[in-house]
Amino acid sequence: MWLSLGIIFSLGILIPGKFSLKLQYDRDQVLHIVPETNQQVQHLQLLCSTFMLDLWKPLLPEDIRAGEDLHIRVPAPLVQDVKDSLAQHMISYRVLIPDVQKLVDQSMPRERSSHRQVSGGYVYTEYHPMEEIYQWMTQIQKNNSELVTQHILGKTFENQTMYYLQISQPSNKTKKIIWMDCGIHAREWISPAFCQWFVKEILQNYKTDPKISRFLQNLDFYVLPVLNIDGYIYSWKKDRLWRKSRSPYENGTCYGTDLNRNFNSSWGSVGVSFNCSSDVFCGSGPESEPETRAVAQFIKSKKSDILCYLTIHSYGQLILTPYGSTTEPPSNNEELMQVAKEAAAALKGKYGTNYRVGSTALILYSNSGSSRDWAHAIGIPLSYTFELRDTGTHGFILPADQIQPTCEETMLAVTTIIDYVDKKYFTNGDVVLTSSSLGLSLCLGIVLTWSVS
């Protein structure tokens, strides 16, 4: 990724914006390559390292494999040199995105007042900057005070407040928790858009939809709309393709940690970099970042009540199960896979969108320190990563006209998982301890307290 701030070609071009300098990607291209031989793989690895090209898929040169998709962003001044080099080595390619900046411009919302009111008029089919998401959270809580409370989770490095929304129907029953977070990677804008859509759908439909009404009798939803707030703000104001957080390292010569490599689950073992300029820099240690610590401390405090952990990313059209650091399956792998396959089938039923299902290490690439793996390892039985649309045509810059269909189909997948949780753990409104959940708990050495019907 950004290996050196001194290499302006790999970064894009800095131009004056309305308020500050903003990176531009005029005529940068994203190429799709499927290397056929190990020799081609070696050349591509050398090419990416020499030109410091921006790898979108996979994220590290060492994860380039023969027969597998490679997506790379090539800065405009290098496009011809890179294409010539590919031709010399008889490596076929096709252009996925002919002009990255044009796609960025098209995905931006139309000009609006910076103090636009969101009550009654919030547009869920546009991307929203953090200021508007903060306003939206406040308004959602005010408009739905019987159901929604807004809570402080912690502070980011840049002292932004991390809020989560709790959607909870008042009840004397024992209730469990579904956790969902979005926006751990700044450039994946469709992710926070889905968290907002999810909240909207639950609140609009819980009185008329029997399924959602049943969910809320037994379950509380905890939704963190943007985990990586500093990075998300930076992706709006400075660099649309920024991924990491914004904490400085090495006396401010490089910035940001990949927060999804910073959790205390096989931290630093595979699929990471210890170079702070890398997009997969894992931090100085597990939970070294305030954002990661805030999430981890809260989840640990609630872990006996959390039945499902959902973390929303893009892109790739995948539902990923634990683990990323090993191909050894978790003890409840059969259950994890079956539920994910049912979710993918429900999603496909809407618009025909195909999702692949499997563990990160088996169907994507190896990584360590992810929130999904960590959540499962501490005893949360169902833990999934969603990689939303698409498969590379637009990559991280999904056009706004795809927000609605993406969210509609993803809602079907997510509610399929929630429905499974609800039916498994509750009978006549009481929590049920199943043999499989007991087995997982014993295996992990975790004692879970349940109210047994």
Tokens at 347, concatenated = 């999603």
Q: Residue 370 forms beta bridges with which residues?
A: none
Question: CA 104, 108, 114 angle in degrees (round to 5)?
Answer: 140
Cα 426 to Cα 109, 174, 419: the distances in Å are 43, 10, 10
The conformation of residue 444, written as its DSSP 8-state character, comes to H
- Exposed, middle or buried by CB within 10 Å (0-12, 13-18, 19+), for 280? buried
For this structure, is 131 an active site residue? no
Q: Which residues contact 130 (CB under 8 A, 6 or more apart)?
A: 160, 226, 229, 232, 233, 236
Q: Phi and psi of 346, rounded to 5°?
A: -65, -40
Q: Phi and psi of 285, rounded to 5°?
A: 180, 170
Nearest to 168 by CA among 206, 220, 207, 128: 220
Three-class secondary structure of residue 188 per DSSP? coil
Structural Rg of the chain based on CA atoms: 22
Q: Say which of 287, 291, 387, 409 is annotated catalytic.
A: 387
CA dist 190 and 395 (Å) reads 11
Tokens at 324, concatenated = 């990323």
Helices H, strands E: what count in the chain? 14, 18
Question: CA 288, 293, 298 angle in degrees (round to 5)?
Answer: 165
CA dist 340 and 447 (Å) reads 26
**Mind giving me the DSSP string for 69-117?**
-EEEEE-GGGHHHHHHHHHHTT---EEEES-HHHHHHHHSPPP--TT--
CA dist 277 and 96 (Å) reads 26
Q: Which residues contact 275 (CB under 8 A, 6 or more apart)?
A: 3, 281
Question: CA 26, 30, 32 angle in degrees (round to 5)?
Answer: 165
Catalytic sites, residue numbers? 387
